[in-house]
Amino acid sequence: MIILKTKGTYYSEGEIVLNPLKTLHWKDLSDQSPAHLPNGSIIELSISFDEDNFLSGKDGVVWATYDLRQAEIIQSTLLVQHINSEIKQIIIEDVKIYIIVISDQMETGVAADFIWKSDYGLRLKPDWNYSEDGINKSFEQWLSGH
């Protein structure tokens, strides 16, 4: 997922001017030699984030979804398993994402196993495994009992 996209002007020796107050240098971004682009070329820089990092358990986060309904249902299933969690909304690149945060750090592994890691739980796949703006098929399949 791209979390930042910006354009700048490329100058010799790898200077990238984003605006009059912000300049980057190629050497600060890469150990490779600066690209041989024509002076004054417009370039675009993007910073992306690996969505699977949401599910690492870091800071108690075990699930992320674009769908609040999905987050609420998963939170309820965790409560039935006696695992307390909280739903938080974050925004990345104008996209709302609902994350499930486990209250007790000691339970993050159990919660992640239950939601997506093991065969005995919900067996969900993250939303971004499906086409953009598509439904989470694994969630809908679990919800319908199949």
**Where along the chain do its domains lie?**
2-48, 52-132
Angle at 46 between CA 17 and CA 14, to 5 degrees: 35
pLDDT along the chain (146 residues), means of 10: 86 90 92 91 88 83 94 97 96 88 95 92 90 88 85
The CATH classification number of 52-132 equals: 3.30.70
Nearest to 87 by CA among 57, 113, 65: 65
Nearest to 65 by CA among 56, 74, 78: 74
Give pTM, 2 decimals.
0.75
